[in-house]
Amino acid sequence: MQSQRKTHVSTTVNGEPREFLCEPHQVLSDVLRNTLNLTGTKEGCNTGDCGACSVLLDGTLVCSCLVLAAEVEGKGVVTVEGIGEEGKLHPIQQKLLEHAGLQCGICTPGIVIASRALLEKNPDPSETEVRYWLAGNLCRCTGYDKIIRAVLDAGAVMRGQ
Amino acid sequence: MNMNVKTEFKYVGTRPIRPDGPDKVTGRARYGADLNVQGMIYGHIVRSPHAHAKIKSIDFSAACKLPGVLATMSADDLPEPGDRKIPGGEVEMALKTFSPVVMARKKVLYHGQAVAAVAATSPELAAEAARLVKVEYEVLPHIMDMHAAARADAPLLHDDVYTQGVDPAPTTPSNIPTQIEISTGDISKGFAEADLVVERTYFVPMCHQGYIEPHACVVQTDENGKVDIWCSTQGAFMVRTLTAAVTGIDIGRFKVTASEIGGGFGGKTTVYLEPVAVVLSLKSGRPVKMVMSRDDVFRATGPAAAAETRVKIGVTRDGRITAIETDILMDCGAYTSHPIMAGVLFNSACYRCENVRSFGREVLTNKPRVYAYRAPGIPQPVVAVECVVNEIAERLNMDPIDFRLLNAVDEGDVMAIGIPFQAIGLKQVLQEAKAHPHYTAELKAGQGRGVAVAFWINAGMQSSATINVSEDGSVNILTGNPDIGGSRASMALMAAEVLGIPVETIRPSVVDTDSVGFCDVTGGSRTTLATGGAVIKAAETLVKELRKRAAAIWSLDIEEVDWTGGMAVAKSGTGLENMNREDAATRGDKTLTLADLAARAGATGGPLCAVASHNAHNAAPSFALNICDAQVDRETGKVDILRYTCVQDAGKAIHPAYVEGQMQGGAVQGIGWALNEEYIFNEQGRLDNPGFLDYRIPVASDLPMIDTVIVEVPNPLHPYGVRGVGEVPIAPPMPAVVTAVNRAAGTRLCHLPLSPPKLLAAIEAAEAGTA
Amino acid sequence: MQSVRYEAPTSLDQAARTLLGSENAKILAGGTDLLVQMRLGLKQPGLLVDIKNIPEIMQLTLGDDALRVGAAVTGALVGEHAEARRLFPGFVEALGLIGSSQIQGRCSAGGNLCNASPAADSVPALIANRALCNIIGPAGARSVAVESFNTGPGKNCLAAGELLVSIDLPLPAHRSSDAYLRFIPRTEMDIAVAGAAVALSLDEAGICTAARVAIGAVAPTALLVTAAADALIGSALDEASLHAAAAAASAACSPITDKRGTADYRRKVVGVLVRRAAAIAKSRIEAQA
């Protein structure tokens, strides 16, 4: 296989302008992790089935393993590293800690990102809505119970309750 | 040996935020694939496309022509395993059941088995090079069905497997590596005394642990032959032992660092990639990174055994069990890791019964070698035993919990293997379940309820811990057990309890094999008990040292100094107030805090630290009970889990939130195994569902909240009463779900998983009266 | 993955030229099928043509006659379109069933159609709603009825250089609605074992005046089952006619047995789904003001 000329991409990651070179076939999760060293985005399947690589692309929740890195030219990417305010955890992160909503933690970055996307669209979701929204974020440790409670509680905090 | 078990706690039993939590919610925590080092290259494994074949030749020449391919390897680069044993302390394991799982030698025995490997300067190049490795096979007939493989005339997977456990020892090889039988009393007499005998056969499929993080490692070697391994594992010391054995390199050359681990459930208590990466690194002189694809994880790691269990239970009219007979056939894949043992020994350990016969055989098939998955070997036969117990209670018109209370083991009862129970919590678990509102909640038409209990033995084994005190009195705890479910939090709580200092001032770390004493794997529900026990011991040693230092400062005898509330306190009557002592003058009290003593450590004998190690022989069994309500769509066979409750004896819940987490997580894994999870092999013996799309683990919307009730009957052998909690939760869900579903559907389906096509067929058969 | 080039044209003309100029080009919409197929080694295109920067491909507009859904408009965007939800609740549900929330941010009706999986969720709903596919290519523009678009598993009617631009869903008549149901073993994240879409029109007396029934995952392509529709038309959608439609759907299918279900099971369940979907569509019409 011969080496192709790499693609130059200018984008915004977690609010900061970033530029990188990538192979045309490289997916965003690969570039985030191995080029930009943002390893908070995890890879559990690389087929869009586990949700560990969830990021926001121009505000839309996507699996970064199913986005070509070249596609993010001119767009904005938010990863788990960009979720909290400077030096402060996001309410979703804080509530996951308080509710013990993580064990091994490999799915946690994806859960954090997906939950933020949900609560921005729907600040007061029902338990069922949270469960269906997070159906694409596999967790094998917790049985989901404490994750769901954490997200519902984070919603309440964000609504000022 | 009824040692003094502590029952009043200040920190233990509280729910602080886990110390590793902030790193995990922010993405800072580093897992197996998160390490990149300078000069790193990438390994890729060539895997067998056949389920059974001879390897005739391996030709690397085309792969090596690609610029950037820096190393290749095959089993020729590893020592022949022969009959060598892997040193494993009390349990020795045959190297020939590990080495070929890392890299096949002469023969492949399952689709996806590693045959060769290459390393190149990019992952894509390595994958391309792997495609160019030419392996010539002579395809052999594959055997996927365990009944077929167990027959005397079956084609053999190995020509050197002779059934163990048969007397006299067989002289011809077979596909049955192990046969085991235990019995007590007189089984015929037991059945003769019974008024009702129920006999059923249940099948449980092969399933996978389904951890979300694929196996990954980075190996660096140096000019002096030092080997550094970074990997996702349940045991850094285990990786050292097994990698040394498989590669033939001395243990002393290894340093293994466990990354954060993204789930294991037993599946990461062995090695797959590490020995390969070591060889590739030694041959290339470069650091080598290897990461499994999800497909590799499903095809080529160690799922849980499939099993068929025939169970026959006899009872008297008034509900007393007179005989229990079980016969288990367990499909252990291409090599045995002896998954049958616990299944035979403990499948009916919840019940007091004088006449027990338990028999089991392992069978080799052309599937991946099965390995540990949470209470290995137990969930499969327990489905059969518990479903039959439910059926008996129903036929006797008895409440299923009352039936179990009547027959439950208690302190003083002797297990079928001859070991007496110390204090156990089975009756308390049953009583809590009976009192739970879920148990008496009304069911609607088309809904069903199932209950089931289970036992797990729990392990002790070897652990070490080190405690270091910083100059400001803050405390570091070092252990060697990868933290899979919150163990750093429980280590910190136990240390806080002994030292009497706030848990937030304690920083627990999981460190590499050079930095702490030996620790067996995080597995067997042993970490809180055994490694926690080492932490308690080290903390007690430290307290003694602190009392000694304070006594020296105060010119007292150590016996005149207590340690209480995080400080040294002179006992009354020691005349301390009359001493010329600066602290007494300035502080007006007779205490020295940990911070005070830390500040003066240099002047009182040097740094404050303590080490402890032990081989914990104080494990004690756990019991768990689940209540499941299910509803069945009679036209599609679709199951909804409506309500779910777990009750479990934790001994002492050190961090209750993470005990609940183990209960909930285990329950949901069991629900998945009962309903949808199974390995599906095609005609060619290839796994047909090696991804999360078609290997269907439960998703968030499949489930209700999972209620938990923690029962605490302290383990009399552990200073804090700990039993271990991680494994038993996966044993009761399958029978609880199967019973609930069959009740809801009016069926008696005994073949798991209860997938919709099977359940619909069973419903139709029941309606037609042909069931 | 083999080396591949990536182009992101910004107009249909540019896209057409790019496609014509390259053999082994693949159109990249959401990529939720294509990138997985590439990773599994099932497809090895030499050029990926990302069409998401082309305005016509990304339009979602309600016209006088039809709802026009650009070929790469995501499921998430369609789901947020209130008029789309009101007019075609079954189609919006079907599209919304594809994959997870994450996949919804990328997948599209056009991609679902072009990928030509027999189990595609949105395709039966498009068929039930008489959708038209707007195609451009070297020979100009053409429109194809959606039920003729797919020609087999993984195959569609697009000729070399052709591109699906948008899909038109004709606006439903007064007192009409639709529904889509699929069967999966879990609640989410599975591929349909069977799927059924029903679009109905009722007169003021509640008699069915028009019906379209389409089924998925039970034949090489999604099927329009006129016999099932005929069983509904003229009836009051009583139990007997619903069961007749179900039987017609079961009779029309030619399912396979695979890891997701047996042929026998699929045949039974698709009938159940047709019956239930028809009942839902009916109740939706009855709930209209």
Shared domain for C63 and C159, answered yes or no, is yes
Residues of B in contact with A49 (CB under 8 A): 294, 691-693
Label residue B416 by pLDDT band (50, 70, 90): confident
Q: Is residue C4 one of the residues assigned to a domain?
A: no
DSSP β-bridge partners for residue B120: B42, B69
Residues of A in contact with B264 (CB under 8 A): 104
Query: Is there a contact between C94 and C121 (Cβ–Cβ < 8 Å)?
Result: yes
Q: What percentage of chain C reaches a pLDDT higher than 90? A: 95
Q: Is residue C5 one of the residues assigned to a domain?
A: no
User: Where does chain C have alpha helices with state H?
Assistant: 12-20, 34-39, 75-79, 82-87, 89-96, 101-104, 109-115, 122-128, 226-232, 239-252, 263-287
DSSP B167-224: SSPPSS--S--BEEEEEES-HHHHHHT-SEEEEEEEEE--B----SSPPEEEEEE-TT
Domain boundary among C101, C136, C170: C170
Label residue B587 by pLDDT band (50, 70, 90): very low
Taking the Cβ of residue A114 and every Cβ of chain C, the question of whether any pair is shorter than 8 Å is answered with: yes
The CATH architecture of the domain made up of B21-27+460-616 is 2-Layer Sandwich (3.30)
Label residue C288 by pLDDT band (50, 70, 90): very high
Positive or negative: CA dihedral C110, C111, C116, C117: negative
Shared domain for C134 and C208, answered yes or no, is no
Residue C112 clears pLDDT 50, i.e. is over it: yes
pLDDT at A101: 98
Residue A156 clears pLDDT 80, i.e. is over it: yes
The beta-carbon neighbor of C259 closest among B694, B698, B699 is: B694
Structure tokens at C220: 């090489």
Query: Which tens digits make up the pLDDT trace of B489-548?
Result: 999 999 999 999 999 999 999 999 999 999 999 999 999 999 999 999 999 999 999 999
Residues of B in contact with C40 (CB under 8 A): 295
Structure tokens at A68: 């070509």
pLDDT at C1: 44
User: How many residues make up chain C in this entry?
Assistant: 289
3-state secondary structure of A161: coil
Shared domain for C147 and C241, answered yes or no, is no
Shared domain for C152 and C217, answered yes or no, is no
Judge residue B23's burial from the number of C-beta atoms within 10 Å of its C-beta, 0-12 exposed, 13-18 middle, 19 or more buried.
middle
The alpha carbon of B338 is separated from its chain's Cα centroid by a whole number of angstroms, namely 15
CA dist., res. B32 & res. B289, Å (int)? 10
Q: Which residue of A1, A21, A25 to mutate against C (max C Cβ within 10 Å)?
A: A25
Q: What is the mean pLDDT of chain B?
A: 95
How far lies B703's CA from each of A134, B667, B671, C187, in Å? 12, 11, 9, 9
Label residue B90 by pLDDT band (50, 70, 90): low
DSSP classification of residue A34: I
Residue C205 sits in a domain whose CATH number is 3.30.390.50
Strand order across the beta sheet in which C176-183 lies: C176-183, C194-202, C208-216, C223-224
Taking the Cβ of residue B27 and every Cβ of chain C, the question of whether any pair is shorter than 8 Å is answered with: no
Question: Smallest Cα–Cα separation from B574: which of B587, B563, B590?
Answer: B590
The residue of chain A with its CA nearest to that of C75 is A60
The residue of chain B with its CA nearest to that of A26 is B124
Return the percent helix, strand and coil in chain A, to nearest 5.
Answer: 40, 20, 40
pLDDT at B582: 53
Strand order across the beta sheet in which B53-59 lies: B107-108, B53-59, B134-139
Q: Is residue C93 one of the residues assigned to a domain?
A: yes
Q: Do A24 and C5 touch (CB under 8 A)?
A: yes
Shared domain for C108 and C143, answered yes or no, is yes
Region C19-30: mean pLDDT is: 92
Q: Is residue C250 one of the residues assigned to a domain?
A: yes
Q: Do B701 and A135 touch (CB under 8 A)?
A: yes
pLDDT at B715: 97
Q: Do B124 and A1 touch (CB under 8 A)?
A: yes
- B75-108 CB burial, b ≥16 within 10 A, e <16: bebbeebeeeebeeeeeebbbbbbbbbbbbbebb
The residue of chain C with its CA nearest to that of A63 is C102
Q: Do A61 and C105 touch (CB under 8 A)?
A: yes
CA dist., res. C32 & res. A65, Å (int)? 9
Shared domain for C231 and C138, answered yes or no, is no
Region B338-365: mean pLDDT is: 96
Q: Is residue C210 one of the residues assigned to a domain?
A: yes
Query: Is there a contact between C268 and C238 (Cβ–Cβ < 8 Å)?
Result: no
Region B157-171: mean pLDDT is: 95
Q: Is residue C246 one of the residues assigned to a domain?
A: yes
Label residue B409 by pLDDT band (50, 70, 90): very high
Q: Is residue C111 one of the residues assigned to a domain?
A: yes
Shared domain for C160 and C97, answered yes or no, is yes
Residue C124 sits in a domain whose CATH number is 3.30.465.10
The alpha carbon of C177 is separated from its chain's Cα centroid by a whole number of angstroms, namely 16
Residue B381 clears pLDDT 90, i.e. is over it: yes
Query: Is there a contact between B310 and B327 (Cβ–Cβ < 8 Å)?
Result: yes
Shared domain for C77 and C124, answered yes or no, is yes
Query: Which tens digits make up the pLDDT trace of A116-125?
Result: 999 999 999 9
Residue B88 clears pLDDT 60, i.e. is over it: yes
Give every CB contact of residue C88 below 8 A, 6+ residues apart in sequence: C67, C125, C129, C169, C172, C178
CA dist., res. B764 & res. B758, Å (int)? 10
Query: Is there a contact between B348 and B385 (Cβ–Cβ < 8 Å)?
Result: yes
Residues of B in contact with C185 (CB under 8 A): 638, 675-676, 696, 755-756
- B386-424 CB burial, b ≥16 within 10 A, e <16: bbbbbbbbeebebbbbebbebbbbeeeeebbeeeebebb
Shared domain for C199 and C164, answered yes or no, is no
Q: H or E element: which one contains A98?
A: helix A91-98
pLDDT at A1: 42
3-state secondary structure of B382: helix
Domain boundary among C170, C203, C231: C170
Number of domains into which chain C is organized: 2
Q: Do C260 and B760 touch (CB under 8 A)?
A: no
Domains B21-27+460-616 and B378-458+620-770 share a fold: yes
Label residue B1 by pLDDT band (50, 70, 90): very low
The beta-carbon neighbor of C1 closest among B124, B636, B694 is: B124
∠ CA(A76), CA(A79), CA(A81), 5° rounding? Answer: 125
∠ CA(B485), CA(B613), CA(B508), 5° rounding? Answer: 40
CA dist., res. B676 & res. C259, Å (int)? 11
Structural domain that includes position C247: 192-286
Q: Do B211 and A140 touch (CB under 8 A)?
A: yes
Residue B579 clears pLDDT 70, i.e. is over it: no
Domain boundary among C138, C170, C202: C170
CATH topology for B378-458+620-770 is Aldehyde Oxidoreductase; domain 4 (3.30.365)
Q: Where are the domains of chain B?
A: 21-27+460-616, 378-458+620-770
Residues of A in contact with C102 (CB under 8 A): 48, 51, 54, 61-63, 66, 114, 136
pLDDT at B92: 79
Region B304-328: mean pLDDT is: 98
CA dist., res. B152 & res. B142, Å (int)? 16
> Within 10 Å of residue B222's Cβ, how many Cβ atoms?
11
Shared domain for C145 and C212, answered yes or no, is no
Domains and CATH numbers, chain A: 7-82 (3.10.20.30), 91-158 (1.10.150.120)
pLDDT at B585: 42
∠ CA(B346), CA(B347), CA(B350), 5° rounding? Answer: 80
CA dist., res. C26 & res. C160, Å (int)? 11
Query: Which tens digits make up the pLDDT trace of B25-80?
Result: 999 999 999 999 999 999 999 999 999 999 999 999 999 999 999 999 999 999 99
Structure tokens at B709: 């009730």
CA dist., res. C126 & res. C114, Å (int)? 13
Question: Smallest Cα–Cα separation from B502: which of B7, B4, B9, B10?
Answer: B10
